[in-house]
């Protein structure tokens, strides 16, 4: 967007006004532009963000909302849409536009929990106490389910306290992007086990946060890679089976260029990813599994060079966007 804007300014012989398009995330300092964004009468601000504008930021001047991120939560969707619904008479804003590239507007009309309504007081003997809030244990975390939503008991500033699932996801996404600023950075760290373990260990709750979100969002069919890629970088998630299938057809030319036994072995390994994700692909005993051994196994890959390098290239292609 900045390149297009620069070309336009040159073609129109106009001075360039900065900032034009910018990353609006705390981890890269983009929040410094929020004051200008709120009060601007210019139309050239484009703020690119993940979840910063879902809650707590009031920018009445916003005239266009563009969805590039896949959104699951109706509440989060309405919060994002709400950034544009404020009128702004000084600038003549009486409407706003939504550009939807991820079918986020499918969530219009989706129901979510209504506000709590107090019960009327009744005369007579005291009422029995309200039943305790339902509590479930997910991956060692206490999750409370109330009419207002779901809350996770997590450590905040050294104290255990409940935070909403959306707030917890925002904290996780912010930390992830701080550690790996781009999707490419994240992918490069993910495919190397030591770097992936280091990255996961730097996330909230020592990496358990990713598994918690996976369970709460019902994403058991997705690898943790896709859970985090959606959360931090807006990548539309793919199930493990979808990734394995895409690997087979998107890279069929590469596979056809390999000896048949090697190609069959890699396809059998991709099937292991479909079953159990990254850990299945990196299983030290993967070459002993019957399907992989029948396809050719370790012997078939050795003819291509070091099996570790072949496995790395396979993971690079498996996690290609």
Q: Are strands 149-156 and 64-67 parallel, antiparallel or unpaired?
A: unpaired
- Predicted pLDDT at 171: 84
What pLDDT, in 10s, does the model give residues 201-213? 998 877 788 888 8
* Residue 216 belongs to a domain: yes
Nearest to 71 by CA among 81, 62, 84: 81
End-to-end CA distance of the chain, in Å?
21
Q: What is the pLDDT of residue 48?
A: 76
Residues 8 and 102 in one domain: yes
Residues 192 and 87: their CA atoms lie apart, in Å, by 49
Q: Which run of H or of E encompasses 142?
A: strand 141-146
Region of residue 62 (left: phi > 0; alpha: psi -120 to 50; beta: else):
beta
**Domain endpoint, select from 208, 233, 258:** 233
Q: Are residues 102 and 12 in the same domain?
A: yes
Which of 214, 233, 252 terminates a domain? The answer is: 233
On whether the CB atoms of residues 226 and 238 are closer than 8 A, the answer is: yes
Looking at the structure, do residues 39 and 62 belong to the same domain, yes or no?
A: yes
Domain count for the chain: 3
Whether 89 is covered by a domain: the verdict is yes
Residue 85 in any domain: the answer is yes
The reported pLDDT for the residue numbered 58 is 64
- Is there a domain that residue 125 lies in? no
In 3D, which of 257, 308, 305 has the Cα closest to residue 282? Answer: 308
Query: How do 97-100 and 64-67 pair as beta strands?
Result: parallel
The last residue of one of the domains, among 207, 233, 259, is 233
3-state SS, residue 37: helix
Contact call for residues 46 and 22 (beta carbons, < 8 A): yes
CATH number at residue 90: 3.40.50.300
CA distance 32 to 34: 6
Length, in residues, of the chain: 321
The verdict on residue 270 lying in a domain is yes
User: What pLDDT score was predicted for residue 93?
Assistant: 77
Parent domain of 74: 2-107
Please give the chain's pLDDT, 321 residues, in tens: 889 999 999 999 998 887 788 776 544 445 555 555 655 555 567 777 766 555 556 677 788 888 887 777 777 777 777 777 777 777 777 888 889 888 888 888 766 544 445 555 555 555 544 444 445 555 555 565 554 456 676 666 666 667 777 888 888 898 899 999 999 999 999 999 999 999 999 988 777 888 888 888 888 899 999 999 998 888 888 999 999 999 988 999 999 999 999 999 999 999 999 998 998 888 888 888 899 999 998 998 888 888 888 888 999 999 986
CA 203 to chain CA centroid, Å, is: 14
88 φ, ψ to 5°?
Answer: -140, 80
């Amino acid at each position: 967007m900045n390149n297009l804007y620069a070309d336009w300014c040159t073609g129109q012989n106009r001075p360039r006004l900065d900032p034009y398009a910018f990353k609006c995330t705390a981890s890269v300092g983009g929040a410094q532009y929020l004051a200008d964004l709120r009060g601007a009468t210019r139309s050239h601000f484009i703020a690119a963000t993940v979840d910063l504008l879902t809650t707590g930021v009031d920018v009445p001047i916003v005239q266009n909302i563009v969805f590039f991120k896949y959104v699951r939560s109706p509440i989060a969707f309405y919060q994002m849409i709400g950034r544009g619904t404020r009128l702004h008479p000084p600038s003549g804003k009486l409407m706003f536009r939504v550009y939807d590239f991820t079918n986020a507007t499918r969530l219009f009309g989706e129901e979510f929990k209504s506000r709590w309504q107090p019960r009327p007081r009744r005369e007579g003997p005291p009422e029995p106490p309200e039943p305790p809030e339902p509590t479930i244990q997910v991956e060692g975390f206490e999750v409370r389910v109330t009419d207002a939503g779901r809350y996770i008991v997590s450590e905040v500033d050294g104290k255990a306290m409940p935070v909403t699932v959306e707030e917890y996801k925002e904290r996780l996404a912010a930390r992830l992007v701080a550690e790996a600023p781009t999707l490419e950075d994240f992918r490069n760290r993910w495919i190397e086990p030591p770097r992936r373990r280091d990255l996961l260990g730097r996330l909230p709750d020592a990496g358990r946060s990713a598994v918690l979100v996976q369970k709460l969002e019902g994403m058991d069919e997705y690898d943790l890679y896709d859970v985090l890629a959606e959360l931090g970088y807006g990548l539309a998630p793919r199930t493990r089976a979808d990734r394995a299938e895409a690997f087979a057809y998107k890279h069929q030319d590469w596979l056809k260029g390999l000896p048949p036994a090697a190609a069959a072995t890699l396809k059998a390994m991709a099937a292991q990813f479909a079953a159990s994700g990254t850990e299945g692909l990196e299983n030290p005993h993967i070459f002993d599994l019957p399907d992989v051994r029948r396809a050719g196994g370790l012997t078939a890959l050795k003819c291509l060079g070091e099996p570790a390098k072949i496995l790395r290239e396979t993971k690079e292609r498996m996690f290609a966007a």
